[in-house]
Every structure is written in C-alpha cells, then in structure tokens.
C-alpha cells in the first residue's frame, strides 16, 4: 500500500519467520530429536527467541508501527492492514514489558523442564519434576508483575491467551457450569450401566489405528497434502504456515479413544490454521485469534462432529473392517453410545464431554492458588487429589495419572487451561448459530457429512485468523457475546437422549 506500511511488513515478516523457525525446532524436539540433543536444542531455541524478542521490541519497530498506523488512519477497520496495526500495537506494548534476560530465562527453564516432566511422568516421580515446576511458578509470578494488573494477578496471564477476558468472568462462567452440570452428572451416575463402553477397551493393533487415524482426519476435512501426523507423549498441533499445519497423537493398543479422538481434536486445530486467509501469511494474523476460539475448533471436530451418531453411521463400517474381531459384532449405534459414555476418569485428554470441564476448573483453581502463593508446589499432589475427589468423585492412584499428566506446566503458561473449557462453550454456541442460520448443516450432520459445517467455519471463523478479538469474532458469528447456556442446552439434549433422562 504505502512505504511506511511496506517497511513495517518486511520487519513483521522477519520476526514471523524467526518465530516459525523456533516452532520447527520445537516440533523436531518433541517428535524426532534424540534425547542427547536437548541441551544444544535449548541453546538454539533460546538464541532465536532472544533475537526475535530483541527485534520486535526495538525502538525501530515501535516507530514503524506508529508511522504505518498514521498512514493508515481512516482505513476500513475490517481490513487486514488495520487489523495488523491494532494487533501489533498491543503485542509490542506487552512484549516491551519483558526484558531480554527474562525471555532467555523462560526459554532455558522451559527447555529443561520438559524432559524432566517426561521422565517424572514415566517414573511416577513428582519429586523429580518439583524443582522445575517451582522455577516455572517463580517465572509466572514475575511475568504477572512485569505485565502489571489492576484486579487479579491472574488477569494479565489469562489475557495473553484470551485477550479481553478477566479472571472474574471465568469464575462466573465456571460457576454456571458447575451448577448446571452437576445435576446432569448426578442423574447419569444413578444408572452407570446404561451405556456400555467395553468394546473400546480391547487390543487394537497400532498400525491399524494409524491407518484409520489418517482416514478419519481426512474425512473431517484435514488436508494431508498440507499436513502430517506424528507421534508424541502429549498430543499437540502446530503450524509453520497455512500450507504446513501438523498434528500429533499418541497410541494406546488397549484403548481406542486415545488416538482416535486425539487425532480428531488436533485435526480441528490444524484445520483452523489451514483455513486462514492467504493474504495474512507471514504475519501474526495468520493464527487463531485466541486459545479459546482455537480450542472451539478442535472440540467442534472432536465432539460435535466426531462423537455424533450420523458420523459413526457413515464411518463405523470402515473402522469395523479394520478391526473385525474386536468390532464385528457391534453396531454403529452401540459404538456411538460407547464413545459418549459419561464416566469420571483421571486423564483430562481422555475425558468425556461433561466431566472434561471439571478437569479444567480444577487446574484453573490450582493455578491461581500456586500463583498467589497459597499452595506450595510440594503440596500440589495432595491438593490435586483432593479436588479430583471433590469435583469428580475419583482419586488418582498415582501422580502420573494425576498432577503429572499435563505438559503445560513445563512452561510459564498459566492462563491457558481455562481456554479449554471456554472452547467447549464457543463450539456449542457456534454450532447453535450455524444450524439456526442454515438448517441444512444439521441435516448433513445427520448423514455423517461435516462439509457444510466446515464451510461455515471457514467463512465465519477460519479465514479471519487474528483479525478480530475473540469477543468481536463470537459477536460477529453468533450475534451475541460468549455464554455458557448454548453448551448447557447441547449437553442436556444430547446426554438426556443417550441416558433417557
């Protein structure tokens, strides 16, 4: 458009490319790198993070942002140029608050904490991870102070993942979920044998699971010509561009759900990135607008699509053909009921749609307690188990099945966990809006065809990337702010039918 904007864009491309190079190193670190390479890899990633931070927070970058902003004054609010200036101003102000040495310490501590967590989880040895988590907590506390806050210390951390949302708002939403879901869970608990999921707990050879994972990801719309499926300890998705959005899963030969729904979940994340407007490439706008909105896309594909009756009526024959001994005597309806069984469990990523939210509430409350210094890291295992019992009525028999199960606390990412539950709410609200706008979507879903659903997501969510804040995006797509009530209606209807309540 104009010289100041084009000059800024070149600098944005530079910092973006460095960030993506870091992600490539991170991907390799978790999927292919030999363990002995960890020290050198931490050094490489730390150098790149320091370099990117130094460039992005320079006086020159600030001057470029303001010069381009002045030239673009009056440009349409919805244009990618105006959206980029808005985003850069906010991100620049935030990152300037973090000194270079702090960024380096974050990279070093996180790099060392991850392999320690992997070992601790494998050996059920919380003491091995404890000193690393204590360092992460110290960094999180320092980060909150560096960002600054008016109300709660958790606010600036939450804002980095769900811009514009306050801790008090999350508390309010989670309270509605607690009050709304507990009676439903209690009613379901009175008939624990109403849904039988034993067919999921058999021997399923991993090579056949891998074949079906590739098939099912393609069926929901994940483009393997621009993607890849890898194997990790804790599943994740990452993108280096809209044409290179990768997913991972883990394989459990004794339980089909782990890989199946892990693949669908991560495919939903990657499809978001694959669907961004090509015009946003090599800028920070070519990402999901927030962690909660991003999570809504993975939960949409995993649950609303992947756990629907129509979907399994369409695709169960293919699964049955791969596992004739295990599933030969089952029906699509029986399988649909099995994958939707509500049963409190230890592992978050394997939880059903209803109890999943309580796993997130638990982590949210523990994060706040550790951040404020009300909970010592040494006491985390006991606090975790106590909350599991209070919220879900189960107590993990080991720390590996309890407070060591998630990778997230290997890095100072407090504020991220609440967005998992927010994603469920966004997903239900999007689905309610899209089926009201276009009833054919529900009809297609009943036939196991998610193409019209994905098309709505492409038009209303994916293409915009980070052009809008999460509050703006949900308002544009649904005509109202985020509310927990669409999820409550969805859950009550679905599980009321499943359990004949």
Tell me how far apart the alpha carbons of residues 116 and 404 are, in angstroms, rounded to a whole number.
11
Answer yes or no: are the C-beta atoms of 195 and 499 closer than 8 Å. yes
Answer yes or no: are the C-beta atoms of 267 and 247 closer than 8 Å. yes
Considering the candidates 30, 162, 266, 353, report the single residue annotated as catalytic: 266
Tell me how far apart the alpha carbons of residues 427 and 31 are, in angstroms, rounded to a whole number.
29
Token pair for 245? 């959005």
Answer positive or negative: Cα dihedral of 408, 409, 410, 416.
Answer: positive
Answer positive or negative: Cα dihedral of 8, 10, 13, 19.
Answer: negative
Burial class (CB in 10 A: 0-12, 13-18, 19+), 217: buried
Answer yes or no: are the C-beta atoms of 221 and 271 closer than 8 Å. yes
* Closest to 65 in 3D by CA, of 11, 22, 112: 11
DSSP string, 483-501: -SHHHHHHHHHHHHHHTT-
Answer yes or no: are the C-beta atoms of 425 and 487 closer than 8 Å. yes
What lies within 8 Å, CB to CB, of 204 at 6+ separation is 253, 254, 255, 256, 323, 326
The answer to whether 266 is a known catalytic residue is yes
**Residue whose pair of structure tokens reads 């293919």 in the numeric block:** 318
Q: CA distances (Å), 397 to each of 59, 117, 120, 122, 363, in order? A: 53, 18, 15, 14, 18
Q: CA distances (Å), 93 to each of 149, 155, 273, 461, in order? A: 14, 16, 26, 26
Active site residues: 266
């Amino acid at each position: 458009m104009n010289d100041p904007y084009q000059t800024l864009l070149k600098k944005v491309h530079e910092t973006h490319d460095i960030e993506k190079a870091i992600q490539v190193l991170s991907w390799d670190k978790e999927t292919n790198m030999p363990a002995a390479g960890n020290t050198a890899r931490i050094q490489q990633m730390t150098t790149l993070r320091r370099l990117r931070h130094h460039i992005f927070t320079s006086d020159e970058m600030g001057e470029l942002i303001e010069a381009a902003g002045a030239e673009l004054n009056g440009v349409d609010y919805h244009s990618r140029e105006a959206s980029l200036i808005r985003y850069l101003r906010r991100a620049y102000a935030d990152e300037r608050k973090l000194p270079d040495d702090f960024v380096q310490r974050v990279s070093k501590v996180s790099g060392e904490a991850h392999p320690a967590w992997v070992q601790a989880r494998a050996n059920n040895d919380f003491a091995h991870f404890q000193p690393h988590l204590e360092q992460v907590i110290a960094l999180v506390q320092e980060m909150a102070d560096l960002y600054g806050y008016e109300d709660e210390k958790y606010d600036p951390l939450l804002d980095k993942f769900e811009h514009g949302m306050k801790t008090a708002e999350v508390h309010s939403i989670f309270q509605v979920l607690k009050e709304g879901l507990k009676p439903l869970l209690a009613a379901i608990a009175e008939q624990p044998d109403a849904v039988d999921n034993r067919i999921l707990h058999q021997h399923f050879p991993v090579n056949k699971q891998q074949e079906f994972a590739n098939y099912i990801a393609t069926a929901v719309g994940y483009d393997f010509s621009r993607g890849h499926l890898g194997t990790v300890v804790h599943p994740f998705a990452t993108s280096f561009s809209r044409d290179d959005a990768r997913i991972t899963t883990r394989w459990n030969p004794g339980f089909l759900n782990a890989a199946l729904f892990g693949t669908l979940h991560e495919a939903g994340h990657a499809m978001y990135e694959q669907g961004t407007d090509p015009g946003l490439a090599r800028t920070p706008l070519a990402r999901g607008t927030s962690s909660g909105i991003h999570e809504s896309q993975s939960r949409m594909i995993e649950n609303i699509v992947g756990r629907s009756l129509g979907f399994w009526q369409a695709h169960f024959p293919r699964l049955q053909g791969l596992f004739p001994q295990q599933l030969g005597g089952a029906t699509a309806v029986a399988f649909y009921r099995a994958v939707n069984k509500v049963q409190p469990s230890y592992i978050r990523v394997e939880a059903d749609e209803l109890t999943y939210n309580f796993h997130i509430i638990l982590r949210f409350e523990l994060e706040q307690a550790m951040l404020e210094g009300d909970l010592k890291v040494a006491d985390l295992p006991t606090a975790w188990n106590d909350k599991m019992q209070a919220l879900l009525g189960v107590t993990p028999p080991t720390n590996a099945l309890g407070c060591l199960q998630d990778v997230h606390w290997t890095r100072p990412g407090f504020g991220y966990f609440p967005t998992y539950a927010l994603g469920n709410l966004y997903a239900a609200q999007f689905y309610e809006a899209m089926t009201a706008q276009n009833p054919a979507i529900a009809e297609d879903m009943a036939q196991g065809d998610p193409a019209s659903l994905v098309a709505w997501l492409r038009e209303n969510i994916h293409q915009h990337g980070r052009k809008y804040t999460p509050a703006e995006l949900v308002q544009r797509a649904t005509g109202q702010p985020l509310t927990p009530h669409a999820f409550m209606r969805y859950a009550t209807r679905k599980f009321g039918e499943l359990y004949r309540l």
